[in-house]
Structure 1
Amino acid sequence: MTDLPLVPAGQRVPLPAEFDDRLRARLAELDEASDVHAQGQRPVNTTRSYAADWKTWTAFCETFHIPPTAATRGTLRAFVDFLWNREKRAYATIDRKLAGVTVTLRQQYRVVVDPTATKAARELLKDYRKEAEEAEEPARGRGKAPAMRLDDLRRIVALCGTDIFGIRDRAMLLLGFSIAARRAELAGLRLRNIRDDANGLLVDIRVSKTDPRTVPVPFAKDPDACPVRAWKEWQTAAQILDPNMHAFRRIHHTGSVQPQGLSPQRAGDLITAAGLRAGFEELFTGHSVRSGMATEARRKGKDRKAIAAITGHKDGSKVLDGYMQIVDQWDENDNALIGLL
């Protein structure tokens, strides 16, 4: 920034239209450098989602013979209409794709989409959802992941097996539950993020869609469901020594642990597979350990702030409220019928 021209004291500050070519070039360099830096900070799954959003957008543009850089009020509304009425996409998916398109246009094509255009597209999307609700149409999308309750978790880890695959899956399930992990957070853990402590482990979650957080994970009373013991068993069996390597790795079918880490999708698939092996008909997902931890903590009477410190939710989070409702609906202070009849 030191080579940018400074405005002497008392001199009128130039407006953007008055910038000279040298300043414009330097600002363009800073824009590009900041984009590269932001790209490096963005979680892999977010980058992958944006790429998928752009692919959907370009396919839409080709169908209707629209240049992909023409993101106007009309084209974005048509995009929403196309995804909702023709492809039957879920509300959250369409909303995210609008964001992915605008971000990609700004970063890769220097096209800044008019905020009123995206607002108009989202208002149309809200109208479509309201019409669907009034018509009592089934909700679109996969819906909420079923919470993996403590009894479920104990049953699943008990049936994980004693080979290297079972050791990894048991550690991933128990640690994932304890830190209320999203699947991307589990996949993003490195050895340096998991530190020993006299009382258990300190787990630094740095790859997250929310702010980074550190979760203190204590030893469990039940050794068979202890995340600390399970992690140490996996670390020893897999010989994880390099602090920069992934905490949870791929395993070759022969049983050899690979240097590559798990993708978020693969981490979620392993959780689903573990539930199926244990005989559960409902499909647990990568999010199930997260919602399960919040639900069980509330059942035990833990304070909302203490739960939010582990999950990373903000005060007043509607998502956290959803977890709490599962439990609070049977709390005598929150259910007016209890003790009334």
Structure 2
Amino acid sequence: MKLIEPSIGVIRPDWRKEFKRLEGAYAPATIKAYYTDLAHFENWCRAHAMQPFPAEPLTVSVYLEGMAPNRSVSTIQRRMYAISRSHRLLRLQDPTQDEDVHLAMRRIMRSKRCRPKQAKGLTQEYLEKFLEVQPDNPWGIRNRAIISLGYDILARRSELVALMTDDIEERSDGTLRLMIRRSKTDPFGMGRLAFTSKRTARLVGEWLKWRGPEIEPLFCGIYQGQAINRALGPDTIKLIIKNAASVCGLKRIEADAFSAHSLRVGAAQDLLRNGHDTAAIMRAGGWKSVDVMARYLEFAEYNVWS
């Protein structure tokens, strides 16, 4: 399907309709990001009197380099991938494969020599503080279970909110076994097993006792003191960690360094300090790449001889 641009008489493909084909093949968050990034590109083209579809390599190069002063490399790369994907869906020639676009990206990356920002690790030292400051109410019961479980299983926030009550199983030793059915690096849902400490099993048990048996998501919202049968959004995990960091007595600059990803980072760093090898850490966190995992561990201060 094509749309007519009434102001200038240009025929432009309807990329939004074509993107419906992605539904079910990609995670909703990925599709949402594509929509947002392509809308940004389309609006930029309109403001600069350039054609977005099909886009010329020069258009893409100017667009990408124009973002360099104010955007991270990862954001620029993500928007380039969105342009590439949209052209392929529309069966148009992909302008991002042109050598001029490759050179533009090399210039951007050489001009922005900075390491990816890493969330501060929520290690055992901080874990105790974050659990201690939770309030003695239903929100505190839930948040303690989330923080402790997220640390034990090295969870991404998307993995925590996707857990269902049926995904956990009590073990005879007082711990829990969980099936993480889908993650960022497991788009087809092969799943991975994860195990918890006894403390986490106790905290999750306290939450389930208060929450009741009729709720499908493991962690749900609370409205007017009642559990509601609706999973939390990923941003709620971030808020829980940020709020805990802000009230446990840390300096602001230190508290601001925490994010939802801090659970995963801190647990991986603790595993390294405690003498676990690379294979064990990769298995625990579900990493497929040693290079990616290594970024999580580079700030771990440990002494293997102690």
TM-score, L = length of structure 1: 0.74
Which residue of 154, 173, 176 corresponds with 2:150?
176
The answer for the alignment partner of 1:278 in structure 2 is 248
Structure 2: unaligned runs, 5 residues or longer: 1-16
Instruction: Determine helix, strand or coil for the equivalent of 2:66.
Output: helix
Task: Give the aligned partner of residue 7 of structure 2.
Answer: none
- The 1-side partners of 2:55 and 2:294 are apart by 36
Contact conserved, 2:273 with 2:303, CA < 8 A, in 1?
Answer: no
Cα deviation for residue 99 of structure 1 reads 1.3
1:120 Cα deviation after fit: 4.2
Shift of 1:166: 0.4
2:200 paired residue number: 227
3-state SS, counterpart of residue 40 of structure 1: coil
Distance 2:293 2:193 in 1: 17
Partner of 1:131: 111
Shift of 1:209: 1.1
Alignment TM-score, normalising by the size of structure 2:
0.82
Aligned length: 282
Is residue 98 from structure 1 mapped to residue 80 from structure 2 by the alignment?
Answer: yes
**Are the equivalent residues in 2 in contact too, given 1:146–1:288 (CA < 8 A)?**
yes
Residue type at the aligned position of 1:48: K
Q: For residues 288 and 160 of structure 2, what CA distance do their matches in structure 1 show?
A: 20
Cα distance in 2 for partners of 1:235, 1:105 equals 48
1:149 has 2:130 as partner? no
The structure whose Rg is larger is 1
- Asked if the contact 1:249–1:262 (Cα under 8 Å) also holds between the matched residues in 2, the reply is yes
Taking the TM superposition and a 5 Å limit, the aligned residue runs for 1:10-159 are 36=21, 39-85=23-69, 88-107=70-89, 109-111=90-92, 113-114=94-95, 116-117=97-98, 120-133=100-113, 139=114, 143-159=117-133
| Equivalent pair of 1:184/1:207 in contact (CA under 8 Å) | no
Give structure 1 regions of 4+ aligned residues with deviation exceeding 6 angstroms: 32-35
Letter in 2 for 1:157: L
Q: How does 1:173-322 map to 2 (within 5 A)?
A: 173-199=147-173, 200-211=175-186, 212-220=190-198, 226-242=199-215, 245-252=216-223, 254-280=224-250, 281=252, 282-283=255-256, 284-316=258-290, 318-322=291-295
- Whether the 8 Å CA contact 2:176–2:196 is kept in 1: the answer is yes
Mapped partners of 1:206, 1:249: distance in 2 = 18
Indicate how the Cα distance of structure 1 residues 266 and 100 shifts in structure 2: closer, same or farther if over 3 A, else same.
farther
Where does structure 1 lack aligned partners over 5 or more consecutive residues?
1-31, 134-138, 221-225, 334-341
1:200-248 CA-partner distances (Å, limit 9, x unpaired): 222222231102542331333xxxxx21111121122111435xx3221
The one-letter code sitting in structure 1 at the alignment partner of 2:245 is G
Per-residue CA deviation, residues 97-125 of structure 1 (Å, 9 max, x unaligned), is: 11123224434x343525523x6434422
Deviates more, 1:296-305 or 1:228-237: 228-237
Distance 1:122 1:292 in 2: 36
Instruction: Label 1:111 to 1:196 Cα distance change in 2 as closer, same or farther (>3 A).
Output: farther
Whichever residue aligns with residue 91 of structure 1, its letter is: V
Distance 2:121 2:152 in 1: 13
Percent identical among aligned pairs is 23
Residue 230 of structure 2: SS of its match in structure 1?
strand
Q: Distance in 2 between matches of 1:156 and 1:120?
A: 49
Q: 1:324 maps to which residue?
A: 297
> Shift in Å at residue 83 of structure 1?
1.3
| Contact 1:213–1:312 (8 Å) recurs in 2 | no
Task: Tell me the amino acid that sits aligned with residue 75 of structure 2.
Answer: T
Letter in structure 1 aligned against 2:284: I
Contact 1:202/1:214, CA 8 A, preserved across alignment: no
